[in-house]
Amino acid sequence: MLTSPFPVEDDGGGMAHKVLGAGWTAPSRARAFVRLQVGRWGLPHLADTAELLVSELVTNAVRAMQSVSSPLIVSSMFPVTLRSVAVRLRLPSASRSLFIEVWDASVSVPIPRSGAEPDDGELDEGGRGLTLVESLAMRWGCQTAPDRGKIVWCELATSPVAAPDPVSTPVTSPPVVPVPVGTPPAPALAVPAHTLPRRMRRHPRAERAEGPDRDTLLRVLRGLRDLD
């Protein structure tokens, strides 16, 4: 029976894991697992982003497993074959974050590749998928697994951070100036018919953030689901 390769943690929050074969169907099975679990936890708004993140992490884990030659881990902690990867979701009670963790038996540390680097076609673990993870997750990292291999994790906020309330300024009414009875109203200022009001920019234009926009990510996710 396959058991979890993740460290034992009991913080009173939600936790679920799944062991998958290290084949090319693993990312789609991981996406289905994540979509179902975040729905059970009442976090359907995180489903799309969590699916993209776990898909990238599991794809990297499957690629990393190609360099592992031994077929089996002889361990007193967990009898998980090296031809497996594992996914765990954690929802700590003392945190407003969802953690996605992916285990594989390779010890190679993932390194993001910049878009400027040439693509040599090799299935190296440090692919552009990690750049996507950087742009979607609050944080991500890599740690050594308790017995063998590594765990790559990322963190998602379960709810958007509320903006601080603006400092309220007292509103004062303009002084009332008495107008003598019988005074004709002031003539309105004439505005040429061809002149349109001009909108003034109150704030400087923000630079576009690097990385794919949300529409692009949703198209990627729809394409991945079509392959399932």
Q: What is the pLDDT of residue 29?
A: 96
Contacts of 195 (CB under 8 A, 6+ apart): none
Q: What is the pLDDT of residue 12?
A: 77
| Within a domain: 1 | no
pLDDT in tens, 81-134: 568 899 999 999 888 899 999 999 888 888 876 654 544 444 344 445 788 898
Q: Which two tokens stand for residue 149?
A: 């291999």
Q: What is the pLDDT of residue 44?
A: 94
Structural domain total, the chain? 1
| Within a domain: 2 | no
| Within a domain: 108 | yes
| Within a domain: 174 | no
**Short-list 191, 10, 2, 137, CA closest to 79:** 2
Which amino acid type is present at position 220?
V
pLDDT mean across residues, the chain: 74
Q: DSSP per residue over the chain, as a string? A: -----SPP--SSSEEEEEEEESSTTHHHHHHHHHHHHHHHTT-GGGHHHHHHHHHHHHHHHHHHGGG---SB---SS---BTTEEEEEEEE-TT-SEEEEEEEES--PPP----TTS-------SS-THHHHHHHHSSEEEEEE-SSSSEEEEEEEESSPPPPPPPPP----PPPPPP--TTPPPPPPPP--TT--PPPPP-SPPPPPPSS--HHHHHHHHHHHHHH-
Examine the pLDDT at 196 and tell me if it is beyond 80.
no
| Within a domain: 99 | yes
Of residues 178 and 73, more confidently modeled = 178
| Within a domain: 196 | no
| Within a domain: 201 | no
Give the CATH number of the domain where residue 72 resides: 3.30.565.10
pLDDT in tens, 16-72: 999 998 888 999 999 999 999 999 999 999 999 999 999 999 999 998 888 776 555
Examine the pLDDT at 11 and tell me if it is beyond 50.
yes
| Within a domain: 168 | no
Using CA atoms, how far apart are residues 84 and 105, in angstroms rounded to an integer?
A: 8
Q: What is the pLDDT of residue 166?
A: 47
Of residues 12 and 175, more confidently modeled = 12
Distances (CA, A) of 140 to 7, 100, 134, 156, 222: 17, 9, 7, 9, 24
Q: What is the pLDDT of residue 127?
A: 47
Of residues 168 and 160, more confidently modeled = 160
- Whether the Cβ atoms of residue 11 and residue 93 lie closer than 8 Å to each other: yes
Domain range holding 126?
14-160
Q: What is the pLDDT of residue 181?
A: 62
pTM above 0.75, yes or no: no
